[in-house]
Every structure is written in structure tokens, then in C-alpha cells.
Amino acid sequence: MDKPVDTVLEAPPAAPFVDHAVHAARRLDAAAEAKRHDAGARVGISRAHESAHLHVAGAATYVDDIAEVDGTLHAALGLSPIAHGRLKAIDVARLRAQPGVVAVLTAADIPGVNDCGPIVHDDPILADRELKYLGQPVFAVIATDRDLARRAAALAKDVIDAEPLPPVLTAREAHAARQYVVPPMQLARGDAHAAIAAAPHRLQGSFSLGGQEQFYLEGQISYAVPQEDRTLLVHCSTQHPSEMQRVVAHALGWHAHQVQVQCRRMGGGFGGKESQSALFACVAAVAAVTLQRPVKLRLDRDDDFLVTGRRHGFEFDWDVGFDDDGRLLGVDMTLIANAGCSADLSPPVMTRALCHVDNAYWLPHVDLRGYCAKTNTQSNTAFRGFGGPQGALAIEMILDSVARSLGRDPLDVRRANFYGVGERHVTPYDQVVEDNVIADLVARLAAQCDYAGRRAEIAAFNAASPVLKRGLALTPVKFGISFNVAHYNQAGALVHVYTDGSILVNHGGTEMGQGLNTKVAQVVAHELGVGFERVRVTATDTHKVANTSATAASTGSDLNGKAAQDAARRIRERLAALVAAKHGVEPASVRFANDFVEAGGVRVPFEEVVHEAYVARVQLWSDGFYATPGLHWDRERLKGRPFFYFAYGAAASEVVVDTLTGESKLLRTDVLHDVGTSLNPAVDIGQIEGAFIQGMGWLTMEELVWHPKTGMLMTHAPSTYKIPTANDCPPVFNVQLYDNANAADSIHRSKAVGEPPLLLAFSVLLAIRDAVSAVGGHRVDPPLRAPATPEAVLDAIDAVRAATA
């Protein structure tokens, strides 16, 4: 009944994606998976996403698709027209007089606490006294329909009376003024300064790295529906229902048990709905409770850009010492993140950045200082990788520069620095790297993609090509898995087995397209020895599983998979005890596989056993819980064991750059990535491809521009902010999974896949840098900033030309 490998990859679509699909098909070993499946396995098998049939038919329900309750009102936000100022008054009467307007909310109308900050309480829901950035919500208009609400809210600049103050718009400016959202952080080991001074070679530099908009396809949205006796149901597109429950209760001055938050799925979150769904949930909730009417708040895309934050742009200043082989002996680095106007998740983002500066390399002496600069811009937040990509890219840029200064191949310099054995496998934050596979993984990829042969070919091409220059880079990834706040690493689940043998699962994670529900359903089906079709995973709901963590840090399937497995296992053990008693055998000898339960040589259909258990009054549902073992973390010193394990990967990318226009094109990418023993190879490959392309967008085309005087985000729509499309996928895109069971006891020895592969896109930026470097015969270091837009590439080419003229 349960056919495996029913993936979207079976029938390759028509050109121009034929190449891509053919490669994809080859990477999945359908025969091996079918064999595993016949033997009873439900994990390690490629399955289409549990909602794929709904996604493609437009039948998947997102928050805005939920049938509206009669009497639903619509909210829109009035935004600050200035980047910094003192709020003096709001002409509420004028807003109330607009057509269709039912009510106007300001900070004074919030019955509880006017704050929705996740860690530090510096995030007003609606501005109070101070205007902190252009786009900050100042008031909410509630009207009979969305269009009328938005029309009234658009009067913001006319109804807000404020005294402008000079804004601080860049991280460098804020750093110079020592203006931060939290105190500076430091990660240090040994004596970096002495090591640099004593090193045979020394290099210094700076690097500027842009931020990135999450650009989830479904924008921020909340729909709050009052229920009986001072309770409220909030449908919210969020990665963190429990946090939404908490902030809504605070804003209302209520208890958590009065607020129910539900999320069936998101149309993407990418970190943007970890904390920042809060403001919208709070506004909808306060409006709904105040008016005792259902209220929906759905943001327009431009407002979504103007109101919410995104990936932190970083500025790096570095100073390193190294030996003749390019081995780093001392690394001194200042990391300045543009945190925006409030703390939000910037402190853990900076922590993760600092803990990823090592990437795959042993750095004996480090002094890393992290500053979360406070500026008058949107408050930056989680985005796939959570600071990890920024920290790791810094060291990759440095190693690239080190290699060039020594006239060596960057891959050789990288290899010389890889984590090894003995003291060479302890991270700067004191965690021992126990599962290191980077040298073998990179060696395999380099051989598979013929790195050395193509390097020579490209050199020959460039020697004969004055205008078009090609470039190649192979970069590794090591990414720590676990929330770097230890207590977030817990999860709960609820599994119901109904008397007909069908199974309903609920867990604390949220589905945002990443396939979490598919994986959790596979885990439960596997545990109970039944077909995948029997298992349905339902909406995440704070009334079902309490006190959940955000679905973030790539831990969704690690945590919730284990919790659901725990619940399913308890039910299985009860069924086994019943069957064992009947047949007079040991419970451990009872087998659950392929929809049958087998004991004492007798095979009974699963649903019959379930029915017997019901009649025998055996509990057929269970909760489950999981807490990641062995984690500890000293927040002051940034030392300990923050990660359960590491995920590894590497990518080799080849580009061609037009040195007259600065345009670049990705020609080919080869990826070898470690997902441990995959729970679902098709879903994992999809995550790797998606993360890679998203990372490439960040580093090559997605550019954020704030007006240097007003602080207006000029790039606030797809017309000015360019994300990659299917056409930007490399024509040759080989993605393979690295065979490597997790050394840690994770769910079926799999590894998290959500974020780590985003870092594979470093290879694209460094390949572009390699191509630009060819302009100067690889004698000067191209001062290439990211994103490497055509303008940035031309600037770097000009600098290289000037230095070699």
C-alpha cells in the first residue's frame, strides 16, 4: 500500500531543466530505497513532501486561506516616516474619520505590556515616545476591509507629528559612537597578538558583507478570533507559536492559557518568523480583544520589507599571522553586526557568528570581538544560518587572501588549516570536534569534480581571454547543530492511534516547506511498523504541545523527530506487552513491520491489534519528550559544548565574469554534503539545493540600500531587490549526499540539513573573486565586497587594474 520514492523527480521536466533533473535522479538510489522499504523501513526513504499534492494544486491552507469568520475586520499599520525622532502626537481623529475605519490603536491602547522583544525588552509593539526607524509601526487602523484600512494607514506621514533627530544609519557609524544593543562579546583563546607578531607572515584587511531579506513567499500575517470567556485563538504564520502565545498574553495582560496559537504551515519563514511574527500577532490580538471582533493583519510586501528586519550585514576588520604553508597562527578580528534599532535575536546571532569563525579550521590563537551595532534601521533577526554564515565567510575570505599572498592554491591553504587530531581538534570555544570528516569529504569532492584538472584548464582559458575570466573555488562547511541557548534544545509530541489504526501526530515544530512534518510522519510510521499513509501530522497548536521552542537552528527534525519517536515507542511498547502476554512470548520479540504485528509466529494486521488493545483498555495515545543531552554553555566566556554535533559539506563552483560589465554567471556547482543517514534523501537534496541558491542570492545579487540621509530602505520590493530564480541555477548542478552516519545519537543517525548548506554558496563568491583576481594575474587581492553585484565586481576589477598598472 505504501509505495516508496514517489518523488517529484521521477519524470524529468522539459528543458531547460533537463540537465538538472537528470542529475537529481541519478543522485537518488531508488532501488536501494525500495529494498529498504520492503524490509519495513519508513525512514531513509525518499518521499514527496506531505503537502506536495496540495501545494501544486493551490489547495494548501495558509493563514489567509482560512475561511473568515463573519464580522472579520482588517488591520493595517501606520509607519514612521522618519528614521529617528520624538513622537509628539498622532491625529487619531483624522484617521477615525476615514471611510470604513472602525478603530485606531496606538501604544496607549495596549492593555498589557507594550513590548514584543524576544530576549531584551526593547521592542515596542507600537511606537511610544521615540521613533527608532523609518517603517516602525506607530499606529494600527482597523477597518471593515483591508483596502480601506491600508488607505487610512497610508496617511501616516500626515497624521504623525514628530520632532526629527539625527539618525545613525550604518554599523560603522554606530560602532564609532560605541552605540550597541547589548554589551560587546569576546571569544578568545591563547595569545593572538603575540602569535601574529611572531608569525613569518602577516596580513590585515577589512571586508563588508551585506544583509539579506528572507523574502518568504507568504508575508507576515496573523488572524485573531475572540473565543468565549476572555480567550483568544490566533492563527499566525510563525516559526514559534509558544513565543507568540507568550507575547500576545503579555500584550493583553492575560495568562498563557487564555491564548491559543495555531500554525498549520508557513509559506516560508527562513528565520524571519522566529521572533518577528510577534508584532503582527500582538496587533491583531489587541484589536480583536478590544473590539471583540475577529481581526486579520496581513502585510503588503513593501510594508513587510519596511517593518521587519533580516539577516545582519557585517563589517569585519582582521589581522592574521601565518606560516609559509598558509597555516593561521594567530587571528584577530573585529565583527560589527548591524543589529538595527533593538536587540531582537542579535545576541545569539553574534554568538553563533563568533562560534563559526573557525569554520573547518583549527585556529590556535584567536581574539574575536563581536559588536551588535545599534542603528536607526529595521531590527535585524534570524535568517538561515543565524550569524554562522557571516562568521564562517570571514575566515574563508581571509584564507583566500592568505593563499594569494603566498601564491598558493587556496584549496591547499584550506587543507593545511583543517581540523585534525590531538589539540588540533578543539574549537576556540573549547568544544572538541569529535566527528570531523572534512578532509575526506573535501578530497572526494575535489576528485569527483576534477578540481585540479579544471584549475589548469581555467588558467589556460584566462591566459587567452582578455575580457571573459573564469574562476573556480572549493569551500568547506562545518556547522554546529543545536540552539546556542542550551535550554531551547527540547521538544514535545503527541501521538494518537485511533481504533481504525490511523494515526494523528502533533509536535512542537512548525512546517515552513522544509519537510519537517514529512520526516516526523516517517519516524512515527517506522516506529509503529506501518505505512506512511496511515500517519497524518496536524497543525502546530499551543493547546496540544506546550512550551515549545522555535523551529529553528535546523533542529526541527532532530528535536521533534525524537519526541515523536518517544511517544510512538511508548504506544508500541504497550501494544507489544498486550500481544506478548497473549502469545506467551517476550515483549521484545514482538515485531512491528509492513502494517503487521508478528509474535509467536502469528501475523496480525496492525489495526486488529489496535482494536484489541482498545477493548482491553490500553492507552492508545501518548505524549513524548526529548532534550538534547550533553550541552553546556558559559555565556560570559563563550566556552563550553554548545553543539550536539557538526554537519559538514563542501561545494566547488565555477563562474565566468565579464570584466567589461561586471556580470557573472555560475556555470557549474558540485556539492557533497553530510546529512548523516538521511531520513528522506529527496527532501534533503531539495533543502541543499534551495539553501545553496538562497546563499548564492545573498552573496551575488541581493542588495539592500538605505537612503544615506533619510534612512529609507530603497530596495523594498522585488522590483529593486533581486532574488535568484530557477534561471539562476547553474546548468550543471551535481548534489550528492556524503555517506556518514551521525556519530551522535540523533534521530536515526540523521543530521540537520536546514541551514548548513547555505554556506556552500561561499564557493560562488570566492570563484568570482578568483576570476577577478585573474585580471591582475593573481598578484593582487581583489577588494571584493558582498554581494558581488556587477557594480561591486567592476569596483574590484578597477582596483586590481589600478594596483597592477
What φ, ψ does residue 213 adopt, rounded to 5°?
A: -80, 135
Point out the residue whose Cβ comes nearest to ligand MOS.
271
- Taking the complex as a whole, how short is the minimal distance between the CB of residue 545 and ligand MTE, in angstroms? 15
Q: Which three cell numbers stand for residue 176?
A: 564609532
Q: Are 157 and 80 in contact (CB under 8 A)?
A: no
Task: Work out whether 269 is an interface residue with ligand MTE (CB under 6 A).
Answer: yes
CA angle, 231 then 233 then 239, to 5°: 130
Q: 345 touches which of ligand MOS, ligand LUZ, ligand MTE, none (CB within 5 to 8 A by kind)?
A: ligand LUZ
Q: 348 touches which of ligand LUZ, ligand MTE, ligand MOS, none (CB within 5 to 8 A by kind)?
A: ligand LUZ
Task: Work out whether 513 is an interface residue with ligand MTE (CB under 6 A).
Answer: yes
Q: Which three cell numbers stand for residue 341?
A: 534599532
- Taking the complex as a whole, how short is the minimal distance between the CB of residue 393 and ligand MTE, in angstroms? 17
For ligand MTE, which residue of 117, 124, 137, 271 counts as binding (CB under 6 A)?
271
Q: Is the peptide bond before 164 cis (omega within 30 degrees of 0)?
A: no
CA torsion angle 61 67 73 78 (round to 10):
10
For ligand MTE, which residue of 352, 365, 384, 478 counts as binding (CB under 6 A)?
384
For ligand LUZ, which residue of 345, 392, 416, 620 counts as binding (CB under 6 A)?
345
Q: Which residues contact 742 (CB under 8 A, 6 or more apart)?
A: 435, 645, 676, 677, 749, 750, 751
Q: Which residues contact 173 (CB under 8 A, 6 or more apart)?
A: 375
| Interaction residues for ligand MTE, span 605-664 (CB under 6 A) | none
The site map against ligand MTE for 557-586 (x = CB under 6 A) is x-----------------------------
Q: Are 561 and 679 in contact (CB under 8 A)?
A: yes
For ligand LUZ, which residue of 550, 575, 759, 796 counts as binding (CB under 6 A)?
550
| Interaction residues for ligand MTE, span 689-748 (CB under 6 A) | 690
- Taking the complex as a whole, how short is the minimal distance between the CB of residue 189 and ligand MOS, in angstroms? 26
Strands (E), 600-678: 602-605, 621-627, 632-634, 639-641, 645-658, 664-673
- Taking the complex as a whole, how short is the minimal distance between the CB of residue 382 and ligand MOS, in angstroms? 4
- Taking the complex as a whole, how short is the minimal distance between the CB of residue 768 and ligand MTE, in angstroms? 25
CA angle, 405 then 407 then 411, to 5°: 100
Task: Work out whether 389 is an interface residue with ligand MTE (CB under 6 A).
Answer: no
Largest CA distance in the chain: 89
Q: How far apart are the C-alpha atoms of 721 and 680, rounded to whole Å? A: 33
Question: Which of 190, 238, 185 lies closest to 508, judged by CA?
Answer: 238
Closer CB to ligand MOS, residue 386 or residue 419?
386
Q: Which amino acid is at 54?
A: L
Q: 268 touches which of ligand MTE, ligand LUZ, ligand MOS, none (CB within 5 to 8 A by kind)?
A: ligand MTE
Q: Are 506 and 541 in contact (CB under 8 A)?
A: yes
Closer CB to ligand LUZ, residue 381 or residue 677?
381
Task: Work out whether 484 is an interface residue with ligand LUZ (CB under 6 A).
Answer: yes
| Interaction residues for ligand LUZ, span 346-365 (CB under 6 A) | 348, 352
Q: How far apart are the C-alpha atoms of 156 and 632, rounded to whole Å? A: 48
Q: 327 touches which of ligand MTE, ligand LUZ, ligand MOS, none (CB within 5 to 8 A by kind)?
A: none
Closer CB to ligand MTE, residue 270 or residue 418?
270
Task: Work out whether 503 is an interface residue with ligand LUZ (CB under 6 A).
Answer: no
> Could you tell me which stretch among 244-252, 321-329, 345-353, 575-583 binds ligand LUZ (CB under 6 A)?
345-353
Q: 483 touches which of ligand MTE, ligand MOS, ligand LUZ, none (CB within 5 to 8 A by kind)?
A: ligand LUZ
- Taking the complex as a whole, how short is the minimal distance between the CB of residue 718 and ligand MTE, in angstroms? 18
Task: Work out whether 706 is an interface residue with ligand LUZ (CB under 6 A).
Answer: no
What φ, ψ does residue 482 adopt, rounded to 5°?
A: 140, 155
Q: Are 330 and 196 in contact (CB under 8 A)?
A: yes
Question: Residue 338 pairs with which residues in a beta bridge?
Answer: 373
DSSP 545: S
> Could you tell me which stretch among 131-139, 176-184, 350-358, 506-514 binds ligand MTE (CB under 6 A)?
506-514
Closer CB to ligand MOS, residue 388 or residue 676?
388
Q: How far apart are the C-alpha atoms of 246 and 68, rounded to whole Å? A: 24
Q: Which residues contact 468 (CB under 8 A, 6 or more apart)?
A: 656, 657, 658, 659
Radius of gyration of the chain (CA): 27
Q: 532 touches which of ligand MTE, ligand LUZ, ligand MOS, none (CB within 5 to 8 A by kind)?
A: none
- Taking the complex as a whole, how short is the minimal distance between the CB of residue 642 and ligand LUZ, in angstroms? 8
> Could you tell me which stretch among 342-350, 442-450, 458-466, 552-560 binds ligand MTE (CB under 6 A)?
552-560
Q: 556 touches which of ligand MTE, ligand LUZ, ligand MOS, none (CB within 5 to 8 A by kind)?
A: ligand MTE
Residue 184, Cβ neighbours under 10 Å: how many? Answer: 15
- Taking the complex as a whole, how short is the minimal distance between the CB of residue 417 and ligand MTE, in angstroms? 28
Q: How far apart are the C-alpha atoms of 470 and 462, rounded to whole Å? A: 6
Task: Work out whether 485 is an interface residue with ligand LUZ (CB under 6 A).
Answer: yes
For ligand MTE, which residue of 555, 628, 669, 773 counts as binding (CB under 6 A)?
555
Q: Are 749 and 742 in contact (CB under 8 A)?
A: yes
Active site residue 457: no
Cα dist from 157 to 81, 299, 412, whole Å: 6, 18, 57
SS3 assignment, position 258:
helix
Binding site for ligand MTE (CB under 6 A): 268-271, 384, 512-514, 516, 551-557, 687, 690, 754-755
Binding site for ligand LUZ (CB under 6 A): 274, 345, 348, 352, 382, 386, 483-485, 488, 550, 552-553
Residues annotated as catalytic (active site), given as ranges: 755
